[in-house]
Structure 1
Amino acid sequence: MTIFEGDFSPPPGRFAVVVARFNAMVTEALLAGCLDSLRRHGVDDSRVDVAWVPGSFEIPLIARELAETGRYASVICLGCVIRGETGHYDHVAGQAAGGVLQAGLNAKVPVIFGVLTTESVEQALNRAGLKLGNKGGEAALAAIEMVNLLGRIKADAGSIEKLAR
């Protein structure tokens, strides 16, 4: 039985981070946590590109464009949608999630969903580093693990192909 697992060793390649400007107090903290986590795991700032978008709804388009360039090992998406008094929250959160998923599936590159969907500003700030860790840092760890996992799967597939010849 072959078991594939990613790890947190320094990953190869470049990383893109797409960050929503809306709720900047939260998203800037998510970005800081993300970049800190990448650095701690061997990804120098020179291997990271950051793209700012107006809001979380706009994240999927830019994530897909970046992922499809073939330039990035992973694209990390950071945003914050806070529930309000209207149904706007459900539409934005759902479309952002679905769009980020589709971007990764289409490009065959890990596109990581680091968009907070919270009931209040307090919850968002807590998840951006105030109390409950930093979800931006967690998104970076997911990206590293996925890059390393895909690398292992591709390396194993290459080994099996050579054996078949």
Structure 2
Amino acid sequence: MATQGNSSLYHIDTGILKENACVILVKTEWNAAIVDALEEGCKNIFDQYKIRYETLVVPGAVELPFAIKRHWERTKDGAAPDAFIALGCVIKGDTPHFEYVCDSVTQGVLQLNLMLPVPTIFGVLTVNTEEQARERIGGAHGHKGEEAAVTALKMIHS
């Protein structure tokens, strides 16, 4: 189980972080209160380390990989970002839709990591209940938005 404190993730020992690094946050409109909290966690870390960021909004989790790929293609010859973070929250319901959405977004982010020269961080909560989601935005399981931001910083500087 991923619990707060069983990782050294928050120990950033990369030395001087890349100056003028930029991360693009791509978030969903579904489960907005949870996703907005994930975004705030990212922003808190980026503000702490003086990282530039921009947020793009898409309707749902399945659209996250497309938006990231399109943004990369539009900026790769100019002001390309150093990393992307996909933010979303998929809560299980009574139909198999949950499995299809989770698999689609997971495979999409995997493909982006293999295709793009910059990392795409998986910041999508896949939970059974809203309570489990809330536990992951500052509760018993830490703050997954902050963790995604720290992961982006480490991947940019690796």
TM band (smaller chain): 0.7 to 0.9
When structure 1 is superposed on structure 2, of 91-100 and 8-17 the one drifting more is 8-17
- Residue in 2 that maps onto 1:88: 97
- Residue in 2 that maps onto 1:25: 33
By how many angstroms is 1:138 displaced? 0.4
- Residue in 1 that maps onto 2:123: 114
2:66 corresponds, among 47, 50, 61, to 61
Q: What is the alpha-carbon distance in structure 2 between the residues aligned to residue 57 and residue 104 of structure 1?
A: 16
- Residue in 2 that maps onto 1:11: 18
Amino acid at match of 2:156: V
Q: Unpaired runs of 5+ in structure 1?
A: 150-165
Q: What is the alpha-carbon distance in structure 1 between the residues aligned to residue 13 and residue 27 of structure 2?
A: 25
By how many angstroms is 1:6 displaced? 7.4
Rg larger for: 1
3-state SS in 2 of match to 1:84: coil
CA RMSD of superposed structures (Å): 1.8
Query: Measured at CA, do residues 72 and 89 of structure 1 come closer, stay the same or move farther in structure 2, by a change above 3 Å?
Result: same
TM-score after normalising by structure 2: 0.83
Amino acid at match of 2:36: E
Q: Is the 8 A contact 1:26 1:124 kept in 2?
A: yes
Query: Measured at CA, do residues 38 and 58 of structure 1 come closer, stay the same or move farther in structure 2, by a change above 3 Å?
Result: same
TM-score after normalising by structure 1: 0.80
Q: Unpaired runs of 5+ in structure 2?
A: 1-11
- Residue in 1 that maps onto 2:106: 97
Amino acid at match of 2:111: Q
Matched-pair identity in %? 36
3-state SS in 2 of match to 1:51: strand
How many residues align? The count is 142
